[in-house]
C-alpha cells in the first residue's frame, strides 16, 4: 500500500489544495458592495450644475462671477453655492424660527377711547375691545390710592391728591403671553410648550385730574402697546380657557342647581353649550363642578350649617330644639 501511494504524483493533489485556498479571498469579494457607477455620478453632477445655471441672474456671467464649473471653488458665504438657496432667505427664516415654532408678529388697532368716568366703565370697554380684536389681557400690577397720596406727600409734588373713593390709582394690563417661563423642575422632563413667550403688548392705566377747574378725576390710558409676537386670530381666541369658560351668572346658577340635583357632567356640558356662547370641554365642566362644590362646602363649617338647620327647624310651628355648646 505504501508503495502505491508513493507512485502518485504530488502535483495532482496539491494544486487542488492551492486552488481551494486561493478562492477564499475571491468568495469574500463577491459579497462586498459593488463599486459606484461613475456615469451616474457624472449625470447627477451635471443635473446640479444645470439647475444652478438656471437660478443664476441672466445679466451675470456664470463662468466668471459664480464659477459653477469649478468643482474645487470655495464660497465665502455671500456668493452662490451649489445645492443651496439664497443666504438672505435662510437668515430671515432662522431669525423667525425657534425650534419648530415660527413666531408670527401681529399689530392690532389701539383703543379708540383713552378716558373713562370710572373703573367699571374701563373694565366694560376693555372687555369689548378684547372680544373685537381677539386679544386677551391680564392684570399684572396695581397700586392703591393711599400709596400714591403717600408718595405725593413725601416728595412734595404739586400733583393734587386723589380722592380715596377711587380705591385704585393705577393698573397695568399685559398680554396673556407676557413674561418668561421659569423652570422649577430638575430637567428630567423638558417642557415643550409654554404660554409665557415675552409678548410686549401692554396697557397702562391710571387715575388723573382731567378737569382742573372742576377738580374732576378720571381713568386715563397713559401707555399702550398692541404689537404681539404671536398669531392673533379668532380661532386661537376661542380656545383660551378664560374665554371658553366665561359662563354668565344666570347660566352658572342653573349649573349649580343641576349639580345639586345630581346631573351628569355631559348633561351640564350640553346645557352650557346650548344656553351660552362658550365652548367648554368636558375637563372644564369637571373643574367647574369641583369649584361649585368647594364654594358650597367651604363657605361654612359643619357646626355652622348644623346651627342654621336647628334654627330653621325651631322656626316652624310645633318644633322645639336646643343647642348645647361644649365648654373648653
pLDDT digits (tens, 9 = 90+) for 305-321: 788 888 888 888 888 87
Which band of pLDDT confidence, cut at 50, 70 and 90, is reported for residue 166? Answer: very high
* Residues 120 and 176 grouped into a single domain: yes
Are 113 and 230 in a shared domain? yes
Asked if 214 and 277 sit in the same domain, the reply is: no
The verdict on 170 and 52 lying in the same domain is: no
Cα–Cα distance list, 2 to 5, 7, 13 (Å): 5, 9, 17
Number of helical H runs and strand E runs in the chain: 12, 9
DSSP letter, residue 224:
E
- Contact between residue 268 and residue 259 where contact means Cβ atoms under 8 Å apart: yes
Question: How many other β-carbons are positioned within 10 Å of the β-carbon of residue 208?
Answer: 16
Task: Give me 102's grid cell.
Answer: 415660527
Judgement on whether residues 87 and 134 belong to the same structural domain of the protein: no
Structural domain range at position 253:
245-313
* Least confident interval from 45-59, 206-220, 276-290: 45-59
- Residue 112 to residues 115, 116, 128, Cα–Cα distance (Å): 10, 12, 12
Least trusted range by pLDDT, from 93-97, 253-257, 296-300: 93-97
Residue 83 — pLDDT band, cuts 50, 70, 90?
A: very low
Among 238, 253, 273, give the residue marking a domain's end. 238
Is the confidence at residue 11, as pLDDT, over 60?
no
114 is a domain residue:
yes
Q: How far apart are CA 290 and CA 300, in angstroms?
A: 16
pLDDT band at residue 108 under the 50/70/90 scheme: confident
Q: Does residue 216 form part of some domain?
A: yes
163 shares a domain with 228: yes
Judgement on whether residues 61 and 167 belong to the same structural domain of the protein:
no
222 CB-contact burial (10 Å; exposed 0-12 / middle 13-18 / buried 19+): exposed
Residue spans of beta strands (DSSP E) within the chain: 97-98, 101-102, 106-107, 115-116, 137-144, 168-175, 202-211, 216-225, 227-228
Q: Phi/psi at 8 (nearest 5 deg)?
A: -70, 145
Q: How many domains does the chain have?
A: 3
Residues 179, 182: Cα–Cα separation, whole Å: 9
Q: Within its chain, how far is the Cα of 11 from the centroid?
A: 85
Q: In terms of domains, do 127 and 224 share one?
A: yes
* pLDDT (mean) for 230-237: 88
Q: Which of 123-127, 207-211, 297-301 has the lowest mean pLDDT?
A: 297-301
Query: For 114-144, b where at least 16 C-beta lie within 10 A, e where not — what string?
Result: eebeeeeebeebbeebbeebbbbbeeeeeee
Helix axis angle, 265-275 to 282-298, nearest 10°: 100
- Helices 249-260 & 265-275, crossing angle to 10 degrees? 160
Residues 133 and 212 in one domain: yes
Q: Same domain for 227 and 254?
A: no
One DSSP character per residue, 156-172 reads T-SSPPPPGGG-EEEEE
Instruction: Examine the domain organization and report whether 222 and 254 are in the same domain.
Output: no
What mean pLDDT do residues 64-77 have?
37
Amino acid at each position: 500500500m505504501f508503495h502505491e501511494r508513493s507512485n502518485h504524483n504530488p502535483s495532482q493533489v496539491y494544486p487542488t489544495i492551492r486552488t481551494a485556498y486561493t478562492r477564499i479571498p475571491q468568495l469574500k469579494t463577491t459579497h462586498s458592495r459593488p463599486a459606484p457607477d461613475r456615469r451616474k455620478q457624472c449625470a447627477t453632477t451635471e443635473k446640479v450644475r444645470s439647475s444652478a445655471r438656471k437660478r443664476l441672474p441672466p445679466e451675470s456671467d456664470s463662468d466668471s462671477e459664480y464659477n459653477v464649473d469649478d468643482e474645487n471653488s470655495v464660497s465665502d458665504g455671500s456668493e452662490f453655492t451649489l445645492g443651496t438657496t439664497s443666504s438672505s432667505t435662510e437668515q430671515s427664516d432662522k431669525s423667525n424660527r425657534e425650534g419648530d415654532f415660527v413666531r408670527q408678529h401681529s399689530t392690532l388697532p389701539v383703543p379708540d377711547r383713552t378716558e373713562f368716568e370710572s373703573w367699571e366703565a374701563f373694565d366694560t370697554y376693555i372687555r369689548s375691545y378684547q372680544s373685537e380684536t381677539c386679544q386677551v389681557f391680564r392684570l399684572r400690577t396695581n397700586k392703591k390710592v393711599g400709596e400714591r397720596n403717600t408718595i405725593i406727600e413725601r416728595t412734595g409734588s404739586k400733583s393734587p391728591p386723589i380722592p380715596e373713593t377711587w380705591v385704585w390709582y393705577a393698573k397695568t394690563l399685559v398680554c396673556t403671553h407676557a413674561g418668561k417661563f421659569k423652570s422649577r423642575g430638575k430637567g428630567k422632563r423638558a417642557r415643550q410648550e409654554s404660554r409665557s413667550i415675552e409678548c410686549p403688548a401692554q396697557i397702562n392705566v391710571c387715575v388723573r385730574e382731567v378737569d382742573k377747574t372742576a377738580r374732576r378725576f378720571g381713568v386715563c390710558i397713559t401707555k399702550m402697546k398692541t404689537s404681539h409676537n404671536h398669531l392673533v386670530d379668532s380661532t386661537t381666541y376661542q380656545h383660551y380657557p378664560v374665554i371658553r369658560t366665561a359662563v354668565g351668572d344666570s347660566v352658572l346658577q342653573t349649573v349649580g342647581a343641576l349639580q345639586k340635583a345630581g346631573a351628569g357632567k355631559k348633561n351640564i356640558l350640553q346645557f352650557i353649550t346650548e344656553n351660552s356662547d362658550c365652548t367648554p370641554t368636558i375637563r372644564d365642566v369637571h373643574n367647574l363642578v369641583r369649584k361649585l362644590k368647594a364654594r358650597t362646602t367651604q363657605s361654612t363649617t359643619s357646626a355652622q350649617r348644623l346651627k342654621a338647620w336647628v334654627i330653621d327647624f325651631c322656626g316652624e310651628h310645633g318644633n322645639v330644639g336646643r343647642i348645647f355648646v361644649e365648654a373648653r
